[in-house]
């Protein structure tokens, strides 16, 4: 779907890497929200090393698997073969029910039904979610503010690759151009125009080591803030970071979020650009700053 990238530590700004949207968004957000801020390292669920001590860990990860399955089996999803050998051969080591270490690679468990014997009951909640068309909140519906002058006071505008700091109580907005040439892109990829995804990329999102973070991203809602509801047409998605005690490295990653259904639900297909607003909803007091290197929108 173009929402993911090879998953490795980003060592240079020329390297494109991003966590999967499911992992970096709803998966990690639960860790951040359930972890106890009264504990030094937000144990149990809020830190990588201790998360497995919380019984919720197992329900939560089973549900993440279920979300993947629901997405993977959507009838209208663009099917792409899982062909990347780095992905298929990546593996983890677990203890089995007999206390023996076993190594399981992605290719051994990618087909949950055939390889693991797992299926999921159809859930009325999933159907509700699939058919949900959230309403727009913004008063600027149908109009994108053009340029810095039109952005509300107090918001900074991202300039190219310049690093923008997003503080604990701040938001960051930028006017970002949408791509052109959808027909040619579709033709080159051998898909129909309606199958082309439009992906918002927050480039080089940098989270200082040991920081619990939750960022919410909106389009065409420059006044969005910490209290803004997420069940609106402007809400695009989220990115959360889970610290790992003992790891002293800033995390740098691109965050890729599909804005295709937002564009449709907002009725702004004919607009050349959108206003992107990043809101920090959770940030450790211990942490200094989170920054975003730049914004772009591309087809996938
Ligand atoms: Cu987890």
Tell how far the Cα of 56 is from the centroid of ligand 1, in angstroms. Answer: 10
Q: How far is the centre of ligand 1, averaged over its atoms, from the C-alpha of 200 (Å)?
A: 24
CA–centroid distance, 57 to ligand 1, in Å, is 7
Compute the distance from residue 222 Cα to the ligand 1 centre, in Å: 31
Domain ranges within the chain, ordered by starting residue: 139-299
Distance 220 CA to ligand 1 centre (A): 31
Q: How far is CA 83 from CA 18, 79, 87, 110, 264, in A?
A: 18, 12, 8, 12, 31
Q: Which CATH code is given to the segment(s) 139-299?
A: 2.60.120
C-alpha 174 – ligand 1 centre gap (Å): 31
Query: Ligand 1 centroid vs 228 CA: distance in angstroms?
Result: 26
* DSSP H helix total and E strand total for the chain: 8, 11
Those residues whose C-beta lies under 8 Å from the C-beta of residue 82, and which sit 6 or more positions away, are 88, 106, 110
Ligand 1 centroid vs 278 CA: distance in angstroms? 23
In whole angstroms, give the CA distance from residue 257 to residue 10.
18
Backbone angles phi, psi at 143, to 5 degrees: -135, 125
The rounded Å distance from CA 15 to ligand 1 centre is 25
Distance 218 CA to ligand 1 centre (A): 25
Report how far residue 273's alpha carbon sits from residue 177's, in angstroms, rounded to the nearest whole number: 4
Nearest to 145 by CA among 40, 1, 277: 277
Distance 268 CA to ligand 1 centre (A): 36
Helix (H, G, I), strand (E, B) or coil at 89: helix
User: 26 CA distance to ligand 1 centroid (A)?
Assistant: 10
**Cα of 262 to ligand 1 centre, how many Å?**
27
Separation of 260 CA from ligand 1 center, angstroms? 27
* Ligand 1 center to 265 CA (angstroms): 31
Calculate how far, in angstroms, residue 27's C-alpha sits from the geometric centre of ligand 1.
6
How confident is the prediction along the chain (300 residues), in pLDDT tens digits per residue?
345 555 555 545 445 566 778 888 889 999 988 999 888 888 999 888 899 999 999 999 999 998 888 888 877 777 666 777 888 888 989 888 999 999 999 899 888 889 989 988 888 877 777 778 888 987 544 444 443 334 433 334 443 333 455 554 467 888 899 999 999 999 998 889 988 999 999 988 888 777 788 889 999 998 888 888 898 999 999 998 887 776 667 778 889 999 999 999 999 999 999 999 988 877 666 555 778 888 899 998
Provide the pLDDT for residue 16.
53
Confidence at residue 5, expressed as pLDDT on a 0 to 100 scale: 59
């Amino acid at each position: 779907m173009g929402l993911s990238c090879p998953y490795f530590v980003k060592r240079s700004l020329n390297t494109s890497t991003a966590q999967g949207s499911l992992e970096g968004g709803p998966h990690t957000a639960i860790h951040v929200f359930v972890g106890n801020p009264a504990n030094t390292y937000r144990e149990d669920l809020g830190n990588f090393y201790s998360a497995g001590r919380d019984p919720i860990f197992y329900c939560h990860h089973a549900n993440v698997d279920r979300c993947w399955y629901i997405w993977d089996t959507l009838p209208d999803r663009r099917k792409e073969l899982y062909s990347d050998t780095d992905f298929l051969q990546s593996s983890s080591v677990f203890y089995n029910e007999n206390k023996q270490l076993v190594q399981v690679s992605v290719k051994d468990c990618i087909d949950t039904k055939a390889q693991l014997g797992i299926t999921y009951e159809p859930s009325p909640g999933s159907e509700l979610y699939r058919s949900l068309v959230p309403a727009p909140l913004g008063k600027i519906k149908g109009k994108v503010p053009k340029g810095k002058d039109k952005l509300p006071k107090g918001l900074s505008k991202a300039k190219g690759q310049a690093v923008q700091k997003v503080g604990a109580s701040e938001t960051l907005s930028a006017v970002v151009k949408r791509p052109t040439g959808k027909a040619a892109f579709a033709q080159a990829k051998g898909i129909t125009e309606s199958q082309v995804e439009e992906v918002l990329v927050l480039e080089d999102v940098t989270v200082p080591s040991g920081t619990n973070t939750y960022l919410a991203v909106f389009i065409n809602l420059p006044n969005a803030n910490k209290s803004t509801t997420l069940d609106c047409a402007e809400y695009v998605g989220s990115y959360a970071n889970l610290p790992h005690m003992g790891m002293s490295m800033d995390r740098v990653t691109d965050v890729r979020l599909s804005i295709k259904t937002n564009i449709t639900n907002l009725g702004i297909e004919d607009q050349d650009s959108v206003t992107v607003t990043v809101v920090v909803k959770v940030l450790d007091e211990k942490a200094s700053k989170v920054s975003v290197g730049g914004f772009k929108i591309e087809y996938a």
